[in-house]
Amino acid sequence: MRRIERVFHAVLFEVLAISLTIVGLAVFTDHEIMKLSGTMIVVATMAMVWNMIFNWVFDQYVPGKKELRSLKTRICHVVLFELGLLFFTVPVIAYILEVSILDALVMDIGMTIFITLYAFVFNLAYDHIRAWVISRKSPTLA
């Protein structure tokens, strides 16, 4: 994947993730939508940067066609990504929403469970759609 595609992948992922997460947090917490939106934009920005860095490093250790990655590799990918992100986002959530680290951790774990499932489905779909688009443009590149 070229750098521009990595940016596209990360932005698409985060736009959908932010929208779905704000809705979920609004349903399950008492925080105002504006404060949740601001928090999620900050967290998503952190996640986008982490996404590009983490995926570049992961691809160095797990080369090859992404659409051929095993279920075990995909699970490992998403768990490692989310654990790394959790480390960075809990203090930020606690600060912005003015909650304890424990409350922020509980919120972030809930978001992480959701995002983990979302990331699995999103990346699986993205990899297969990408392979299909490439094969349609130039069968020799697929």
Find out whether 58 and 77 touch, Cβ atoms under 8 Å. yes
Is 53 within a domain? yes
Q: Residue 142: pLDDT above 60?
A: no
Is 40 within a domain? yes
Is 91 within a domain? yes
The Cα 72–Cα 119 span in angstroms is: 15
Q: How confident is the model at residue 138 (pLDDT cuts 50, 70, 90)?
A: confident
Q: Residue 29: pLDDT above 90?
A: no
**Chain centroid to CA 107: how far?**
16
3-state secondary structure the chain: CCHHHHHHHHHHHHHHHHHHHHHHHHHHCCCCHHHHHHHHHHHHHHHHHHHHHHHHHHHHHCCCCHHHCCHHHHHHHHHHHHHHHHHHHHHHHHHHHCCCHHHHHHHHHHHHHHHHHHHHHHHHHHHHHHHHHHHHHCCCCC
Is 25 within a domain? yes
Q: Which domain holds residue 25?
A: 3-137
Is 10 within a domain? yes
Is 80 within a domain? yes
Find out whether 119 and 74 touch, Cβ atoms under 8 Å. no
pLDDT in tens, 82-134: 889 999 999 999 999 999 999 999 999 988 888 889 988 999 999 999 888 88
The count of other CB atoms within 10 Å of the CB of residue 90 is 21
Q: How confident is the model at residue 141 (pLDDT cuts 50, 70, 90)?
A: low
Q: Residue 47: pLDDT above 90?
A: no
Residue 76 is encoded by which pair of tokens? 């490992």
Q: Is the pTM of this model over 0.75?
A: no
Number of domains in the chain: 1
Is 16 within a domain? yes
Is 142 within a domain? no
